[in-house]
Amino acid sequence: MLSFHSCGCCRVSTSTAFHFQFRTLPSSSLFLYATSYKFRSTTASAGSGLTGHSDSDGDRKLNFSGVRLEEAVDSTIGSAKLRLDSWISSRINGISRARVQSSIKSGLVHVNGRVVDKASFNVKAGDQIKCTIAELQKLRAVPENIPLDIVYEDEHVLVIDKPAHMVVHPAPGNTSGTLVNGILHHFNLPNVEFSKDESLSDTEDSDDEVNSYGSMTSSYEGSHSILSMSSIRPGIVHRLDKGTSGLLVVAKDEHSHMKLSEQFKQRTIKRVYVSLTAGVPTPVSGRVEVPVGRDRNNRLRMTAVAGPANSRNARHAASRYRVIEILAGGSCSLVEWKLETGRTHQIRAHAKYLGVPLLGDEVYGGTKSMVLSLLRPRTPISLHGKIVQMVSRLDRPCLHALTLGFQHPHTGEQVHFSCEPPVDFDEILSQLRKIGSENVSFSKRSNF
């Protein structure tokens, strides 16, 4: 049985095995200052089609503001259905589909002389398309003295235990109180002003393989300079959902960011999550390889759809899971997850696909009413009041990034970090154990 507690000790190890006894590495007092932080300008890829405009130094910025497209849809598409946003994205080299969608919604796209504000509009051969790309929305990240739970820090990397309810980076609706605001203060960096990349909106602040940002500008003592998309996160390599707690690594220099990003791309990063699910998955251990894509009916939600990747804009996604403990007579379970890929909301979508949404996950079916309907029949009457109170306090998906392992970008050493679930997770787990607890034997586990 895994018995979680909330202490902050013993969280670092050079072992890659999954356990809860770790040797502690020496803590570091090194801090990153603005004068030593390295930035470089980004360049847009060359190629056919329209691109963003050039700087005076010849570098291209990923800024398509004001770019105009006036063209007829080629007859080669035949009778196939083709979305308006897809067609425009294919005609402007390097632009994101989200940026095109924003321009369409702003009424800046005409089809055969009429304004069309639906990105899903189907174009056909011969349609005359006129499009102007909307101006980028500017956002600013200001250093804020936000306490950070630092698990490990040296001169190259920073590993943080992100609390639940904290957004990783600023976005419309979340411009302060984010992890980036806290990191800017911790690193003694100035304000950062950047262009909103719609693909990283506040509804998509979640774990994905490699983080990417729109062009950013730092303002310091009135000066402005173009900074690297890959280095002015500052250093964010991957993300966690707003509601997810746990481990996240930050790069403190460009070399570290590049090396860590490569490990995410090559899928050599070792990550283990734990969750509390509504129900028990069948079988109790297994591998889910089901593509994950945006839900067509609810843009706040991803969906796992069986079938080939890239169909319905879904991307290949694979997760391994195993049940650690069956709770409350089978109404809930403690489940461990290992990510082979890192898609937006991957664990949450795969858990729903298995029929066991995470407790507290209102978006994916783990609603309070659903959890109560499972617990009440299996709970002694004497505990009904406590269960109702527990469920009423569910205010996030019960998901925690428990361990994180990677090759140190400078030393080459395999490092492994662990951070136990926070108090809210532990309290819910304790309440469920009072109703009933059954360990799952190792003989029932496989492929993990």
- The separation between the first and the last C-alpha atoms of the chain, rounded to the nearest angstrom, is 17
- Tell the residue number behind the tokens 């403690």, with chain if given: 334
DSSP 8-state class, residue 262: H
Sequence-distant (6+) residues with CB within 8 A of 18 are 272, 336, 403
- Is 322:283 a contact under the CB 8 Å cutoff? no
- Tell the residue number behind the tokens 């299996």, with chain if given: 378
* Cα–Cα–Cα angle for 148, 151, 152, rounded to 5 degrees: 110
- Is 420:402 a contact under the CB 8 Å cutoff? yes
Structure tokens at 414: 């395999």
Cβ count within 10 A of residue 176: 12
Q: How far apart are CA 181 and CA 374, in angstroms?
A: 40
Q: How far apart are CA 238 and CA 252, in angstroms?
A: 14
The kind and range of the H/E element at 349 are helix 346-353
- Is 118:91 a contact under the CB 8 Å cutoff? no
Chain CA centroid to CA 234, Å: 16
For residue 190, say if its preceding peptide bond is cis, omega within 30 degrees of 0. no
Assign residue 365 a region (left: φ > 0; alpha: ψ between -120 and 50; beta: otherwise): left
What share of residues in the chain are helix, strand, coil (percent, to 5)?
A: 25, 25, 50
Backbone angles phi, psi at 395, to 5 degrees: -125, 15
Residue environment code for 75-88, b if the CB has 16+ CB neighbours within 10 A, otherwise e: eeeeeeebbbbbbb
Cross-strand partners of 71? 129
Q: How far apart are CA 417 and CA 404, in angstroms?
A: 5
Sequence-distant (6+) residues with CB within 8 A of 381 are none
Structure tokens at 113: 């002389």
Q: Which of 154, 208, 241, 253 is catalytic?
A: 241
Residue 361 among the catalytic residues: no
* Catalytically active residues, by annotation: 241
